[in-house]
Structure 1
């Protein structure tokens, strides 16, 4: 146990099993999922509407799509800052307060994008403001990911942490699907001209009711038993991140939190966020066809995720994530070859198969990372490692793919990236001590 003076004098050395009843845990999980849905809704809009945003904010540029994804990528480099600041406050004053703050921030930032003047109105100031609002979104999501997952895991009944936290991942993919469907429906209904004139604003403005709903629900829930118990015992860390860096165990865990999520780069950010743009621009699918493939794969992963979460509760996190990584390394290239045939039916098979495989990673990764850290430093240390990973290997992925495809002319770059990141995750997860069947540690 890591000790820091009198702050630890009354904290028990042994982990304390969570005694939250199932009904309360379900209520908390629903509240967490609604918040996560509101937080990540923007990713679906941004991915599908990249072409429209390019025309509105970067008209006449040959690299307009790349510039849009550059704005997408820039926001990810502010995720670690959000993770550090929100994590510090979350470990000091509580998870619930910070989760209300971050959903407020991202809702305001997303809605503000819908109110921005266009390049035609104010010139270069328009894309500058767009990127600044993306920065605010990145900061907010940096505080959301580790906070929400810590919150859910600390409320979940023993033996069901994998299942309960996997529901949050379903919410994240449903929000991506919802954003994509809304953007697609409006593009189809209004046409390119009206979408570029004013229609692009509406999906972003819908963040207002989503945010209000999320804030209302999160304000009505209590903080976690683990945090409250630690607070009552006087065991809260004065400087959680500093404490994490002074512990060799925690430094090693943060390093693992940096590399185990590698598959997110080729999964969430390429297979789902970038896929509509990739299929339209590089494979010359129609927008409706691209939407059908993406939406089908999102439905497939939402179905598969809870099974993977439940499986990890039974056999452990390492086995499920390692199995998913091996499977992705084997099927990544064949699946992208199916997508690249131009045949919608084959593309559906390829994308859905990859989605089911990726569920073994995304449905389990967060609970594995939560279990690496004790309550005293969990929000801060987990947030830093995971958000640095998202910045380096996640948000940059769409920009990297468009750049590499443009330079090489090889549309199979996403397939190579899928294999490479899967192998990286496999190596990293092999170094983890699996704590699936142990209570969460407070200190």
Structure 2
């Protein structure tokens, strides 16, 4: 192991460059998360196209099983992309992952249906979801490390929160596209050919993201470490050899618990939940989700900026406590069947969740030094996503089907919030310290 000074080195990137890099990073994240999120929004149509010989509830469960399977390949993507990202640079891997997911998403858009090739159709659908999952596994930790390492000191929370805005704007775009097409084409034409269009939009989005990411340079932290011959030869092995890093990876596994009830249930699963369980129309469900996405996009930068001032722990803990309090009442508002009340309930939860999603990634970035950051942060976070995130829609559909209780998402919101609160209490807050290189 190369001997490198373990002292934190302040970031000297000028604000103009940091803003340029942040914008470029966000465009790539938008493309990546749109590609990943559109699968959940199109679950109803995909169920009819790829599982036509089963009842609707079972077909939707099969679609979300495909959604969940891809998450178990995220840790593999995190390990491989993280290793290469810590060895050869963040920028190269971020170009690769957006190329991979764009190709996989576009391929879903041209898949033959079950009526054309039988069981091979859903098999190919799941295979392409695996490719998407691998790509996203390399995206989250890589993009957030990239942005944080470029951000000016004292503004890391704000700058990385912009990436979260991009991710939710991607979900909002997917929601509006799905709502507009479902409303304009109707179920018959959507199931015939319309479902393909949202997936094929990955082509121009991917080209734009690749073009922008290829034009940005690697981070000053990585470049400085490379010039000092301080790069790790095996970053994940090095991380597991350190008790401090093992503890940090364990925290990276449990702090994101709220993502399961937030990102993956409140947003990705919500349109399907509202139409299949609460008797809303598909368009109404998508529009309620769209309202909550607008709310969270507005709230996220305020939470990121607040965490720069008061620390990450206080903001995350406050969000967890608030979700434990409002989770059940807000879901009861959604369950009334009234669109206006559903919008209020979903928007309240979205603003609360902003305190988690707008801060969690920068807290996890700060747990690790540059030498192992991409690998160790990526592994912990993506194992968490696989266990508690991607399985959430499948778990909700299964529990509701078995129990008949449509309030299962509310209980899940409270349980995951309390889990996050417990994990956050064990973290050392590094909001006001420079990022470490080693």
TM-score band, normalised by shorter chain = over 0.9
Q: Tell whether the 8 Å contact from 2:179 to 2:287 is kept in structure 1 after alignment.
A: no
How do 1:134-149 residues align onto structure 2 when only pairs under 5 Å count? 134-149=129-144
Is the 8 Å Cα contact of residues 35 and 215 (structure 1) preserved in structure 2? yes
1:77 corresponds in structure 2 to 72
Q: How does 1:293-372 map to 2 (within 5 A)?
A: 293-372=288-367
Report 1:252-263 matches (<5 A).
Answer: 252-263=247-258
Asked if 1:23 is matched to 2:16, the reply is: yes
| Alignment RMSD (CA, Å) | 0.6
Q: Is 1:279–2:241 an aligned residue pair? A: no
User: In structure 1, the residue corresponding to 2:256 is in which secondary structure?
Assistant: helix
Task: Report the CA distance between 1:204 and its aligned residue.
Answer: 0.4
| C-alpha contact (below 8 Å) 2:31/2:205 kept by paired residues | yes
Match of 2:33 in 1: 40
- CA deviation after TM superposition for structure 1 residue 288, in Å: 2.2
Deviation at 1:259?
Answer: 0.1
Q: For residues 179 and 325 of structure 1, what CA distance do their matches in structure 2 show?
A: 27
Match of 1:249 among 233, 244, 252: 244
The total of aligned residue pairs comes to: 436
Equivalence for 1:50: 43
Q: Does 1:234 align with 2:234?
A: no
User: 8 Å contact 1:44–1:177 — kept in the other structure?
Assistant: no
Which deviations, in whole Å up to 9, do the C-alpha atoms of 1:329-367 show, x marking residues without a partner?
000000000100111111111100000000000000000
**Match of 2:54?**
61
Deviation at 1:47, TM superposition (A): 2.0
Q: Does 1:210 pair with 2:201? A: no
Task: Tell whether 2:100 aligns with 1:105.
Answer: yes
TM-score (norm 2): 0.99
Shift of 1:43: 3.7
Distance in 2 (CA, whole Å) between partners of 1:144 and 1:212 is 16
Q: Does the CA contact (< 8 Å) of 2:164 and 2:358 recur in 1?
A: yes
- By how many angstroms is 1:167 displaced? 0.2
Contact residue 35 and residue 101 of structure 2 kept, 8 A: no
Q: TM-score, length-normalised on structure 1?
A: 0.98
Q: Is the 8 A contact 1:44 1:178 kept in 2?
A: no
* Correspondence 1:167-178 to 2 at 5 A: 167-178=162-173
8 A Cα contact 1:43 1:273, kept in partner: no
What SS class does the counterpart of residue 217 from structure 2 fall into? Answer: coil
Matching residue of 2:186: 191
